[in-house]
Structure 1
């Protein structure tokens, strides 16, 4: 394991309030610029999250593919002020993102956590409203998601999703359990979303 190195300048990621201990710092890296960041910002606003976790959001400047996103996270992993690094990205169907196995292996080798949605983040949004257990391509998943919250663009109203996140997490866990039972492995575990794992860490559960 590589040694933890010091920060090369810039402001501290750690936050303190008076005599309170430093908050746990989680850095989340996103490939998208709309729905995923909107959702993370919604989580940041939750009082119990704000009280216990410094949630730092990083968006890839070129909306990079998963491998470039993991490489970006790798640059921050050994920052002594960072407790956890997470990458949020999609698999995409019918044409998968390139170099997915390499991205997963690089993350594993460097202790970077992944919240992968298959086929896309919109599947995670769908699970807030209902279960979805059948294979779905990216475009139909996006259309179904928009029909549920009636949004016209790609941005979401995160406040509308926050009260439903526990139900989404339960449904996502059931999908993972089904794939495990069936022996269905990544990237063929469509539909699925690892966002519930990120929520568990952010909310300290």
Structure 2
């Protein structure tokens, strides 16, 4: 009886997906994204680069910067995280959204009035119109921190609950006929989080 050659089957892992993230915020948003990167399933399968645009960068040039990288074949997806702000919204918000829509690789995760709303939704329902100052004050009261610091490790485990609340807010605005940028309070950060986790699943063996 002839001997059979034994060949070990090797699991083939897809290359890591690369996501480039542009943030308007310089502290809070990068801290949250950094904590997402630490999740085992994300860390093993997804490369996330964060580009901090700076505190005085408004959405339209942020999207322009993102589009400058859209032709890079080593980048799979580009996300822009920015705020609407209230009571004085950023200029050219609709133009920024229209510009991003011209390229399938560029996606937006917009918070109205600001990213701190997303943080609040990890812990509680928020339905009333908020100014940026009010949202920041409420978010700081959750963990006793100021100066936009963030204990991201206490938030990321609750991201599914925050996403549930964010989807409910979006549904309420649709039923009321309110749309961007007049949909305060609302946030799309859950779409970014879900895209990161979907990329991680896609890259898993």
**If the length of structure 1 is used for normalisation, what is the TM-score?**
0.88
| Structure 1 residue 61, shift from structure 2 partner | 4.8
Unaligned segments of structure 2, at least 5 residues = 1-11
Question: Which residue, out of 40, 53, 69, partners 1:76?
Answer: 69
Conserved? CA contact 2:25–2:55, under 8 Å: no
**Structure 2: distance between partners of 1:117 and 1:21:** 32
What residue number does 1:175 align with?
169
| Structure 1 residue 26, shift from structure 2 partner | 0.9
Question: Which residue, out of 178, 184, 187, partners 1:193?
Answer: 187
**Structure 1: distance between partners of 2:124 and 2:50:** 28
Indicate whether 1:95 and 2:102 are aligned: no
Superposed CA RMSD: 1.5
| Structure 1 residue 50, shift from structure 2 partner | 0.7
| Structure 1 residue 154, shift from structure 2 partner | 0.9
Conserved? CA contact 2:18–2:77, under 8 Å: yes
What residue number does 1:86 align with?
79
Conserved? CA contact 2:121–2:166, under 8 Å: yes
| Structure 1 residue 20, shift from structure 2 partner | 3.7
Stretches of 4+ moved more than 2 A in 1? none
1:109 match: secondary structure: coil
Question: Which residue, out of 112, 121, 125, partners 1:118?
Answer: 112
Instruction: Flag the structure with more relative contact order, 1 or 2, with Cα contacts below 8 A and sequence separation at least 6.
Output: 2
> Which is worse superposed, 112-121 or 56-65?
56-65
Unaligned segments of structure 1, at least 5 residues = 1-18
What residue number does 2:99 align with?
106
> Which is worse superposed, 112-121 or 146-155?
146-155
Conserved? CA contact 2:26–2:54, under 8 Å: no
The C-alpha deviation readout for 1:58-114, integer Å capped at 9, x for no partner, is 111564100111011001111111111100000001100011111111001122100
Conserved? CA contact 1:25–1:81, under 8 Å: yes
What residue number does 1:4 align with?
none
1:56 match: secondary structure: strand
